[in-house]
Chain A
Amino acid sequence: MNLLVAQAQTIEAPEIDYGALAPMLIVLGAACISVLLEALLPKHQRWAVQLVLTLVTLVGATGALILYATSERPEQGVATLAGAIAVDSPSLFLWATLLVLGFGSVLLIADRSVEPGGAFVAQAAIRPGTVQDRAQATKTGMQTEVFPLTLFALGGMMTFVASNDLLTMFIALEVLSLPLYLLCGLARRRRLLSQEAAVKYFLLGAFASAFFLYGVALLYGYAGSVKLSAIATAAAGTDRSDTLLFAGFGLLVVGLLFKAAVGPFHAWTPDVYQGAPTPVTAFMAACTKVAAFGGILRVLTVAFENTQWEWRGVLYGVAVVSMVIGAILGLTQTDVKRMIAYSSVAHAGFLLIGTIALTPEGTNPGVSATMFYLLAYGFTTIAAFGIVSLVRNSDGEATHLSQWAGLAKRSPIVAGTFTFLLLALAGIPLTSGFIGKFVVFSAAIDAGLTPLVVIALVASAVAAFFYLRVIVLMYFSDPAPDGPTVTVPGAFTTIAITLGAVVTLVLGLWPTFVLDWAGTGTFLS
């Protein structure tokens, strides 16, 4: 008994660097408050209050981040919460990316003018085709749970990219995934597709989480710790079985690649992108990608750098497969959301090139390049989905490509903006997409991955075809007589699209500021 007391006394509360954690804590705290508001406020006040709370939270968290980033902080970063969270330069950059992209997505989510009542349904559990479902379709009510769900997902993503051990990473993975599964099922139109997307994403996501957890267990067996740095130390020189290490690594990476929608672990992407409400698709495409690749970067650089010669070949192959699948299957798509989904698979392949561009000296020029690419891609994607949500007919969004024919004649501004965004996705110079590709490819050539870069360039050229096809449709085809109309967007969607397009242009013309910032520091190891 005495012994137990004595032991209990030696356990000290871990030190918490509140300044460093503030952005994350603000988002997660606000998510909790948001849930309470949902329970306590009368229905008619919720939307306005929730929206203000969410936007203020994001701005406040960004403010806290800037305050911390500009203050005197250790250059290599700090590990806090007993080493569970590492706040280093890449963490800060990724947090900032997540917060600004989250801000854009929340603006799209908040819009209620494009679709009366917003893009979300009040009760997602009603079976499609039933009397209740038809009754619900005529109402414009909307549950405001999307806001706390979004905040939780965002908080989870921020934790994920800063996790310094695999168990924290797993919990963060679940915190970010569960709200996303729910959000996917909330589309107001085409309920069946939306529910299918949610179930598919949930089932496959659960499998991926299980893979991840299994990998964590094997790595724990190998290294005796779940800390990333401990795994690196163990892998640096032991006589322990490599089987555990590489089996664990393989399973872990499968889980991560699934979240990042890298081919061949991409099978959920087109269905989920298509079925989810478009603002949620934008949020997933932009922010989940940032979080997943942030996590991959940290795991590969911190825990598995020593063993890079063993696994690099495998990820090399995965990157090729992802680019080829994305580029070739993208050609066959007839739905604009599915097309962007396959484009995101191809982009995931490009991003993976950046994450494996480690040089033999151990420096990783790919880290800053990948982070820049993530930021650039996120803004372009949010704006692109913002525009997809505007082109509608009586059934909701007109996502079939044939319905986009001749759009430029009726809505030159919308078509012009979308063309610009597609050119950015294709990587044409003077857009951020080009600079992103350029930095990733030059990092890869530095790291001796020239053949991979050549494959990537050919894949870019193939992928350019399906972007061009949309431009051809919009500009050079005659409009269908019963074609969709372009809804005049409300203020929120307009701001989100403008923000995305302007950032795409500015980062294409003057990328120096962001590049410098992305290149300031390395991961804390």
Chain B
Amino acid sequence: MTWVLIALLVVPLVGALVVAFLRKDDTKAKLVALAFSLVELVLAVLLWAAYDPDGDRIQLAAGVDWIPAFGVRLSFGIDGIALVMIAVIALLIPLVIGAGWTEKLPAGRSQGGYLSLILIQEAVTVAVFAATDVFLFYVLFEVMLIPMYFLIGGYGGARRQYAAVKFFLYSFLGGLIMLASAIGAYAMASDELGKGTFDWATLVKVVSDADSTTQTWLFLGFFLAFAIKAPLVPFHTWLPDAAAEAPIGVTVIVVGILDKVGTFGMLRYLLPMFPTASKNLAPLVLVLAVAGVLYGSLLATGQRDMKRFLAYVSIAHFGFIALGIFAFTSQAGVGSVSYMLNHSISTGMLILVIGMVIARGGSSLISDYGGMSKVAPLLAGMLLLSGLTTLSLPGTNSFVSEFLVLIGSFPTQPVYTIIATVGMVLAALYVLWLYQRIMTGPLRGDALVGAAAGPGAVGDPEKKTAIGDLSKREIAVLAPLVVIVLALGFYPQPVLDVITPTVGATLTEVGVTDPVSVQEGK
């Protein structure tokens, strides 16, 4: 079944190439891109079926030599975490294409170019999660920036140039520092084995035995890259700009998918390769994580722009994920990984719904809206549902993961966990307040009533306005997400089954004993 993984890497690239030739015909480009992304989704389902949760640490592995001089191989394979992330990419991309079906691109830009970049982004991101060679991972980590740079810079809002360059430079710098650490690990491997290699499994064996000073330095190199990517406070400032300036579909990809590379990297590279340093430096990461929860929540509450709001919500959620990873218990670890998946789904849905609001009002300022549920009740319902899953209401998917993170972190890190719990309260505040301002009350706001009506003017919901409710296409985009949100909220077991063994293996590599299992033994 190795071919499935290879096909997952190749299909979007072929799609990108085909779509790139359809720059003249927007409709055809959209249809072809959607078809390719659906093929990718089918392949992802096959991949899920082929993965054996109780099998090897890395499955469906395949590889060929690339640069033998440094022992670099083009090698791919997946574990449970990578599988979940690849699946969620494959799920979100068709929805992004569907949601952006009628979106107007800036003058002179074609759907062909836009969708081609989206498909390239999909292929490279899948490859980042599937890479099992550290050099290859670095290469893809940097290459991943290029299509995104053109997506933000070419199709974004007014300050798109600034946002694109900022995004690129932040990630590029982080990546370069990571490269220094990767070379350091490589140098250790060549000293120890007599022959250099970048193979992940080999490096884990070699580097995890290093003394704690070496580990600390190498850890910091990788950590900086992942902390920028994730993003953890204070390395987060690129995200609000990128999220605000990118077109809404690209915001879904940045916030919903690309960020996960950071937390994925922590689980796949930081913990197994540098177990001693991970344990020593855990307090540092935990402080940043909890700071992120509080800072993100507070700033999300205070945002006036919906897209920046989304970015800060994400920063808060990444605090929870990092907390779960560095609490070193299997419950918290499983919680974090499922949070990575559920964050993609819930936040992805929230972004798409907010995108639909913005598509109607033409403005991303919260103050331009009010009482929208009068004219678009279905849309209001969707915003409420996506908001509730974002604030982790029981019965939705995010609740399971947030609960697991908190209950799993408490035995080892009670103080940080208690502080992070405040974030849950703030989440209710910022989500419900956003909903209240946009949807409830009398119909008002420049975007809905029109600026001509004057400040404070109240519209009449009975009068026909241009603001309509959800179209069939929008319902089709949101329906799968609603199903998944509720299904995973009530029955998360299939996902947890896939990730639990991998998280267990990761924690074994770190060498921590699980306090939870001790309690179960009582």
Binding site for B on A (CB under 8 A): 409, 423, 426, 428-430, 434-435, 438, 441-442, 445-446, 450, 453-454, 457-458, 460-461, 464-465, 468-469, 472, 475-477, 510-512, 515-516, 519
**Using Cβ atoms and an 8 Å threshold, which residues of chain B touch A464?**
168-169, 172
Per-position 1/0 for B163-184, Cβ under 8 A of A = 0110011001100110110011
**Using Cβ atoms and an 8 Å threshold, which residues of chain B touch A457?**
173, 176-177, 179-180
Residues from 59 to 83 in B contacting A, C-beta threshold 8 Å: 67-70
Q: Jot down 25 A-B pairs with beta carbons below 8 A, ordered by A.
A: A423-B146, A426-B172, A428-B146, A430-B139, A434-B139, A442-B70, A442-B187, A445-B180, A445-B187, A450-B180, A450-B184, A453-B180, A454-B177, A457-B173, A458-B173, A460-B176, A461-B169, A461-B173, A461-B176, A464-B169, A464-B172, A465-B165, A472-B164, A472-B165, A477-B161
Q: Most chain-B CB neighbours within 10 Å: which of A423, A438, A445, A510?
A: A438
Contact (Cβ within 8 A) B68 A472: no
**Using Cβ atoms and an 8 Å threshold, which residues of chain B touch A428?**
142-143, 146, 172
Contact (Cβ within 8 A) B67 A511: yes
**Using Cβ atoms and an 8 Å threshold, which residues of chain A touch B160?**
476
B179 interface neighbour in A438, A465, A468, Cβ under 8 Å: A438
B235 beta carbon closer than 8 Å to chain A: no
Contact (Cβ within 8 A) A429 B143: yes
B183 interface neighbour in A435, A442, A475, A510, Cβ under 8 Å: A442
Q: Which residue of A lies closest to B107 (CB)?
A: A478
**Using Cβ atoms and an 8 Å threshold, which residues of chain A touch B403?**
none
**Using Cβ atoms and an 8 Å threshold, which residues of chain A touch B172?**
426, 428, 461, 464
Q: Nearest Cβ in chain B — how far from A471, in angstroms?
A: 8
- A510 CA to B68 CA, complexed, in Å: 10
B51 beta carbon closer than 8 Å to chain A: no
Q: Nearest Cβ in chain B — how far from A212, in angstroms?
A: 35
A468 interface neighbour in B67, B142, B165, B183, Cβ under 8 Å: B165
B101 beta carbon closer than 8 Å to chain A: no
Q: Which residue of A lies closest to B140 (CB)?
A: A429
Q: Which residue of A lies closest to B217 (CB)?
A: A450
Contact (Cβ within 8 A) B173 A429: no
B186 beta carbon closer than 8 Å to chain A: yes
Q: Most chain-B CB neighbours within 10 Å: which of A441, A458, A468?
A: A468
- A441 CA to B178 CA, complexed, in Å: 13
- A434 CA to B182 CA, complexed, in Å: 14
Q: Which residue of B lies closest to A461 (CB)?
A: B173
Given the known inter-chain contacts A438-B183, A457-B176, A477-B161, please indicate yes or no for A515 contacting B142, CB distance below 8 A: no
Q: Nearest Cβ in chain A — how far from B333, in angstroms?
A: 30
**Using Cβ atoms and an 8 Å threshold, which residues of chain A touch B153?**
472, 475-476
**Using Cβ atoms and an 8 Å threshold, which residues of chain B touch A469?**
165
B48 beta carbon closer than 8 Å to chain A: no
- A323 CA to B177 CA, complexed, in Å: 16
Besides A457-B176, A511-B67, 8 new A-B residue pairs in contact (Cβ under 8 A), listed by A number: A426-B172, A428-B146, A441-B180, A442-B187, A450-B217, A464-B168, A476-B154, A476-B161
- A454 CA to B173 CA, complexed, in Å: 11
Contact (Cβ within 8 A) B168 A430: no
B410 beta carbon closer than 8 Å to chain A: no
Binding site for A on B (CB under 8 A): 67-70, 108, 138-140, 142-143, 146, 149-150, 153-154, 160-161, 164-165, 168-169, 172-173, 176-177, 179-180, 183-184, 186-187, 217
- A91 CA to B149 CA, complexed, in Å: 42
Q: How many A-B residue pairs have CB under 8 A?
A: 84
Contact (Cβ within 8 A) A429 B69: no
Q: Nearest Cβ in chain B — how far from A14, in angstroms?
A: 38
- A70 CA to B226 CA, complexed, in Å: 48
**Using Cβ atoms and an 8 Å threshold, which residues of chain B touch A519?**
69
Contact (Cβ within 8 A) A441 B143: no
- A423 CA to B153 CA, complexed, in Å: 16
**Using Cβ atoms and an 8 Å threshold, which residues of chain A touch B184?**
445, 450
**Using Cβ atoms and an 8 Å threshold, which residues of chain A touch B161?**
472, 476-477
Q: Most chain-A CB neighbours within 10 Å: which of B69, B153, B173?
A: B69
Contact (Cβ within 8 A) B139 A442: no
Q: Most chain-A CB neighbours within 10 Å: which of B149, B173, B176, B217?
A: B176
**Using Cβ atoms and an 8 Å threshold, which residues of chain A touch B186?**
442
Q: Nearest Cβ in chain A — how far from B410, in angstroms?
A: 38
Contact (Cβ within 8 A) A476 B173: no
- A475 CA to B179 CA, complexed, in Å: 29
Q: Nearest Cβ in chain B — how far from A458, in angstroms?
A: 7
- A442 CA to B142 CA, complexed, in Å: 18
**Using Cβ atoms and an 8 Å threshold, which residues of chain A touch B169?**
461, 464-465, 468
Contact (Cβ within 8 A) A476 B187: no
**Using Cβ atoms and an 8 Å threshold, which residues of chain A touch B217?**
450
**Using Cβ atoms and an 8 Å threshold, which residues of chain B touch A511?**
67, 69
**Using Cβ atoms and an 8 Å threshold, which residues of chain B touch A442?**
70, 183, 186-187
- A423 CA to B67 CA, complexed, in Å: 21
Q: Nearest Cβ in chain A — how far from B197, in angstroms?
A: 13
Contact (Cβ within 8 A) B67 A515: yes
Q: Which residue of B lies closest to A368 (CB)?
A: B69
**Using Cβ atoms and an 8 Å threshold, which residues of chain B touch A450?**
180, 184, 217
**Using Cβ atoms and an 8 Å threshold, which residues of chain B touch A426?**
172
- A247 CA to B25 CA, complexed, in Å: 70
Contact (Cβ within 8 A) A441 B67: no
**Using Cβ atoms and an 8 Å threshold, which residues of chain B touch A453?**
180, 183
Q: Nearest Cβ in chain B — how far from A371, in angstroms?
A: 14
Q: Nearest Cβ in chain B — how far from A441, in angstroms?
A: 6
**Using Cβ atoms and an 8 Å threshold, which residues of chain A touch B164?**
472, 476
Q: Nearest Cβ in chain A — how far from B431, in angstroms?
A: 34
Given the known inter-chain contacts A430-B143, A442-B183, A464-B169, please indicate yes or no for A409 contacting B176, CB distance below 8 A: no
